[in-house]
Structure 1
Amino acid sequence: MIFQSKLFALRFFTALCIALLAGMEVDLFVPSFPELIHVFQLTPFMVQLTLSLNFIAYCTCALFTGALGDRFGRRPVLLWGIFIFVVGSLLCVMAPNFPVLLLGRLLQGVGIAGPATLGYFVIMDECPVEKHTSLLGMLNGMVTFGMAFAPVLGSYVTLYFGWRSNFIVLLGLGVLVFGASFWAIPRRSINPSISLSPKVYGPLLKSSKIWFFMGALCFFSVPYWVFIGISPLLYMENLGVSLKEFGFYQGSIALTFGFVSITSGLLITWFGKKSCLTAGLLSCAFSALFLGMLSFLGKSTPLLITIGMLLLAVGVVFPINIFYPDFIHIFENSRGRINALFVFFRLSLTAFFLELVSSIYGGQFSLIGLSIVLMIGASLLLSWYILSKKWISLN
């Protein structure tokens, strides 16, 4: 049995809530972009700052929270981070103008760094290594399902209650996570041997194995985040999709992504890692070909774009779930710092590509599609190298 006690089940629930908060913190309010543009008289570039500033704070603080968590334990870093997130959410709910909203988003980014970096270890620290893959599969499955449906939920919350209501939802979830973390996360002794200096990341950055794994994982996940960030403007502002219809398009991607994620552990058990990984990589390749054709031919209807993203949503699940456990165990006593590096680079790349696409995107899908194709191509090349080196076990 994976859940050996009620206390462990509570910790699993807490880790699930933490990860849901980390994912929904970005996705939930994205459908509010068109309303924010009209309410505060913003340009597309300016409204994207609500994501970019959040990402910058998020990924910068993640580097510190990784080392802090390894040294002082997960509990204090998580609790202080969630508290800062709640304060930032309050500012967003009450924001009378755009600068205050940006400040709230900045604090949300600072606060969410700890939970996003260390949340998985609430359960990983409590079970043997051989159970990590199954637990991670279960957790990732349920989390990605919730994350994928956040834009759909955000669409309807915005439609019926306005943009502030999305931040009220985040505020409520933040309070819930704080309470669950306070009761579930154990206190641990301090490990003074772990330095808080940035030099502590030196050995990790010198490892080519770390870089290849991190690159592959980043380029599998970043295209989805970039698409989520720009899709409200693309679908609603440029392709004439209504807010309600936008929820249906996002919902189809969410349902596919969530279903494959939740069942990925079972599918790997039935068909094996090798078969599932091969299917995932092929689906990513077909997605790149399909989206590339749409970009060059100019046939970018909402339905065709959604079909291309469905192929990507199916494809990325297996490489991420199969690569990640091997990645965080490359150096045994550095899991917090390894994950912090991954969060830092994933969010940095997301912010970079999101701002790049939003600044040069002229209401057409072509540049978005080409960016996604390039990132998928990079992920496939890095995956081929990892597999050729036999750095993961496919048994």
Structure 2
Amino acid sequence: MTKTISAGMSARRTAIIGGLMVATGPLSLTLYAPALPTIVDDLNTTDAAGKLTLTVYFAAFALGQLICGPLSDRYGRRSVGIAFFAIYVLGSLVAAFAPSLEVLFLGRFIQGFGVSAGVALSRAMVRDQFVGAEAIRILTMVNLILTVTPAVAPTLGSVILLFGSWHQMFVVMAGFGLAIVAMLGTNARETLPVAARIPFSPRVIFSNYRALLSAPDFVFPALLLALAFSGFHSFTALLPFILIDDMGLTPFQFAMAMLVQTASFISGNLIASALAARMGGQRIITLALALLALGGLGFVVLPMLFPHSVMALMVPVGVWMVGLAFIGPSATATAMAGFGSMAGAAGALTGFFQVGGGFAGSLAAGTLFHDAQTALTIMMPLSALVAIGLTWIDRSRVRKSAT
């Protein structure tokens, strides 16, 4: 059932503003992905340390949402968004002028904390106004806008690297953050009425999070998000080292290969948007799990059949991204559906699970395996298998409670 809750902003404006806010997160990943090997060389460090710049970012991203969400429940989405994206700009500038790995870690941490507002607030803004199939449709529109950034960012990053240094990539990120601040200040409307706001206090925050974490209807779809995005961020951290270091691609060739990922995500979102009006979120999630299983298997089989083939890696990446496009909006809408009175906290906690999955995936990819290819062939099918098992347990629980 579709229901519109308020008319603070139109569906289109909500999707555009939410999509641009969320896009800042992948911009901060994909713009400098082609430069990771260069950063390792310039700072005289190791591949593992280079991958940890992703891990630090994810850790701050995940933790920042737990603060951002409750703040927005108290002070509104718009003002909190402006404050957090200003923090993101500061972190980008720190990273831009980083003379050492330690300062780069600091800049990435500040960036991750500030950009956490994108996921948490975009979801809260949708939940403030829409539920049901309409919410899924708008979240899918957000994802469509989101795909523009990873489509352009790796190519832009490789061009910057050709004519400048990786430091300038972070200046570009700072400029994007300033644009978001300006957009929120001039074009966004507040979606949370003053009467609906709740106090910002440790007792209320812990009470809300405890209620969410004790509700299976929230926890199971949130865990599914974590697993799906864990796989995504695992290969995000690993592919630059496999394709550039091991296979010898140039940064520009790497960016061209990553267009497979972007095209697949765009296609998946277009299909998911059409399916949202015809079938429920649970059926879409079932299709997504089948795609994750197929993609996970592909990461194991195709590189064995076609060693040293770029497409042997990018085909399973594409399949995984279509599945991810299916899972994201449906699992998010399902998790938040029953928690409109604490939409900021619910949006933050779904984001925490999603980005926490990315943190765990990138950390495991960078530290638990002796090489990137081994990490890829173990982690991807494992993530898919656990996601399928988790969904089976959840649906068994729902069937038992209904009888």
Aligned match for 2:40, one of 37, 41, 44: 37
Aligned match for 1:121, one of 120, 124, 129: 124
Q: Aligned partners of 2:333 and 2:131: how far apart in 1? A: 12
- The one-letter code sitting in structure 1 at the alignment partner of 2:238 is I
| TM-score of the pair, normalised by structure 1 | 0.88
In the alignment, which residue of structure 2 is the partner of 1:189? Answer: 194
- The one-letter code sitting in structure 2 at the alignment partner of 1:258 is I
Of stretches 83-92 and 13-22 in structure 1, the one that deviates more from structure 2 is: 13-22
In the alignment, which residue of structure 2 is the partner of 1:75? Answer: 78
In the alignment, which residue of structure 2 is the partner of 1:155? Answer: 158
Q: Does 1:344 align with 2:364?
A: no
The equivalences for 1:64-213 within 5 A come to 64-127=67-130, 131-147=134-150, 149-183=152-186, 184-186=188-190, 188-189=193-194, 191-193=197-199, 195-197=201-203, 198-200=205-207, 201-213=209-221
The equivalences for 1:322-361 within 5 A come to 322-361=330-369
Structure 1 residues 154, 279: CA separation in 2 closer, same or farther (over 3 Å shift)?
A: same
Of stretches 120-129 and 78-87 in structure 1, the one that deviates more from structure 2 is: 120-129
Give ranges in structure 2 of 5+ residues lacking alignment.
none
Of stretches 295-304 and 363-372 in structure 1, the one that deviates more from structure 2 is: 295-304
1:248-292 residue CA offsets vs partner (Å, 9 max, x unmatched): 211112112122213421244467767654443322221122223
The alpha carbon displacement at 1:80 in A equals 0.9
The alpha carbon displacement at 1:224 in A equals 0.9
Q: Aligned partners of 2:148 and 2:275: how far apart in 1? A: 16
Q: Aligned partners of 2:308 and 2:302: how far apart in 1? A: 6
Q: Does 1:47 align with 2:50?
A: yes
1:43-78 residue CA offsets vs partner (Å, 9 max, x unmatched): 012112221122222211211111111122112211
Q: Aligned partners of 1:178 and 1:91: how far apart in 2? A: 18
The alpha carbon displacement at 1:39 in A equals 0.9
The alpha carbon displacement at 1:148 in A equals 5.1
Give ranges in structure 1 of 5+ residues lacking alignment.
none
The alpha carbon displacement at 1:133 in A equals 2.0
Preserved CA contact (<8 Å) 2:231 2:383: yes
- The one-letter code sitting in structure 1 at the alignment partner of 2:266 is G
Q: Aligned partners of 1:157 and 1:150: how far apart in 2? A: 10
Q: Aligned partners of 1:74 and 1:100: how far apart in 2? A: 31
The equivalences for 1:49-64 within 5 A come to 49-64=52-67
- The one-letter code sitting in structure 1 at the alignment partner of 2:345 is R
Q: Aligned partners of 1:166 and 1:220: how far apart in 2? A: 28
In the alignment, which residue of structure 1 is the partner of 2:311? Answer: 303
Q: Aligned partners of 2:214 and 2:127: how far apart in 1? A: 25
Structure 1 residues 58, 315: CA separation in 2 closer, same or farther (over 3 Å shift)?
A: closer
The alpha carbon displacement at 1:172 in A equals 1.2
Q: 3-state SS of the aligned residue for 2:194?
A: coil
Q: Aligned partners of 1:275 and 1:10: how far apart in 2? A: 28
| TM-score of the pair, normalised by structure 2 | 0.87
Q: 3-state SS of the aligned residue for 2:159?
A: helix
Structure 1 residues 206, 49: CA separation in 2 closer, same or farther (over 3 Å shift)?
A: same
- The one-letter code sitting in structure 2 at the alignment partner of 1:41 is N
Structure 1 residues 128, 241: CA separation in 2 closer, same or farther (over 3 Å shift)?
A: closer
Q: Does 1:288 align with 2:296?
A: yes
In the alignment, which residue of structure 1 is the partner of 2:265? Answer: 257
Structure 1 residues 288, 349: CA separation in 2 closer, same or farther (over 3 Å shift)?
A: same
- The one-letter code sitting in structure 1 at the alignment partner of 2:123 is Y
In the alignment, which residue of structure 1 is the partner of 2:29? Answer: 26
The alpha carbon displacement at 1:298 in A equals 9.0
RMSD: 2.8
Q: 3-state SS of the aligned residue for 1:120?
A: helix
- The one-letter code sitting in structure 2 at the alignment partner of 1:212 is F
Q: Aligned partners of 2:372 and 2:334: how far apart in 1? A: 39
- The one-letter code sitting in structure 2 at the alignment partner of 1:189 is V
Preserved CA contact (<8 Å) 1:217 1:323: yes
- What is the percentage of aligned positions where both structures have the same residue? 22
Of stretches 4-13 and 256-265 in structure 1, the one that deviates more from structure 2 is: 4-13
- The one-letter code sitting in structure 1 at the alignment partner of 2:37 is P
Q: Aligned partners of 1:95 and 1:138: how far apart in 2? A: 36
The size of the alignment, in residue pairs, is 389
Q: Aligned partners of 1:120 and 1:203: how far apart in 2? A: 18
Of stretches 273-282 and 163-172 in structure 1, the one that deviates more from structure 2 is: 273-282
Q: Aligned partners of 2:106 and 2:87: how far apart in 1? A: 12
